[in-house]
Amino acid sequence: MGDRYEILSATIPAFFQNVPIAHISGGELSNGSKDDVIRHLITKLSSLHFVSAEIHKKRVIQLGEPDTNVFNVGEPGLDALVDMKFIGKRKLEHKLGLVLDRKFLLMTVHPEDSHLNELEGSSLIDGLCTALEEFPDKKVICTLPNSDEGSVMIKNKILDFREKNSDRFYVFPSLGRLVYLSLVKLSEAVIGNSSSALVEVPFLGVPSVDIGVRQSGRLRSNTVVQVSRKPEEIIEGIRKVTSP
């Protein structure tokens, strides 16, 4: 499953050793990320395709794959959420060393590496930090970016923002799937540009603000508010998803 270079490193030798590959979630788009190209590469190396929507099935067939080998099965990552035993509020507080006394925002920001330069990455995280200053009463739990090019700059700006807002801004390198999704259920909204804000978060009934172009092209629920990197748009997006 996936669209990351880590899994591409497994599919290439499998292809040359004639080991069949079944690819999950091909045919999707994320125009603001190199993952978009890698996803299509994995599709071309694969023999069977289990896609998440009809439009993705059509796209895989457009890439030249035989329609008899492409199956629209929905998003399998959501199936696991139906029976997932989420962690309760008190256990989360103990595990993370936090007091979740009120609703909070959950934040994840990754580089927009399709158009990557320092100016654009800086514009995204600077715009978000500026917007958060308009909500001094809101707690924010933030996970650090992935290892894509440009992540160090975003990480440093996040840590700088924490130094100035340590009473309400909490940073974790990574939370793991279960802890993260348990926090999603308790959060007021999810903000940033992670794909989870378009897939798992709407399924759990929580609104999200998708910032910038990293996830452009993906299908999205009407609970997802799309905004640019401009602080004023991010502020308006946060106000919208946190209003009744």
pTM of the predicted model as reported, rounded to 2 decimal places: 0.83
What's the confidence (pLDDT) of residue 113? Answer: 67
At 188-200, the pLDDT tens digits run 999 999 999 999 9
> What percentage of the chain exceeds 70 in pLDDT?
96
Please tell me which of 48-62, 73-87, 119-133 the model is most confident about, judged by mean pLDDT. Answer: 48-62
Tell me the H-state helices in the chain: 5-16, 35-45, 54-62, 76-82, 89-96, 118-132, 151-164, 177-186, 200-203, 231-241
DSSP 198-225: TTHHHHTT--EEEESSTTTTS---TTEE
> Average pLDDT, whole number, for the chain?
91
pLDDT reading at 116 higher than 60: no
214 within 8 A of 32, measured Cβ to Cβ: yes
Cα angle: 109, vertex 183, 74; to 5 degrees? 75
Model pLDDT, residue 118: 47
Instruction: Please list the residues that pair with 51 across neighbouring strands.
Output: 72
pLDDT digits (tens, 9 = 90+) for 30-64: 877 788 899 999 999 999 999 999 999 999 999 99
pLDDT at position 5: 85
How far is Cα 32 from Cα 216, in angstroms, rounded to an integer? Answer: 6
Percent residues over pLDDT 90 in the chain: 77
pLDDT at residue 122 is higher than 80: no
Query: pLDDT at residue 119 above 70?
Result: no
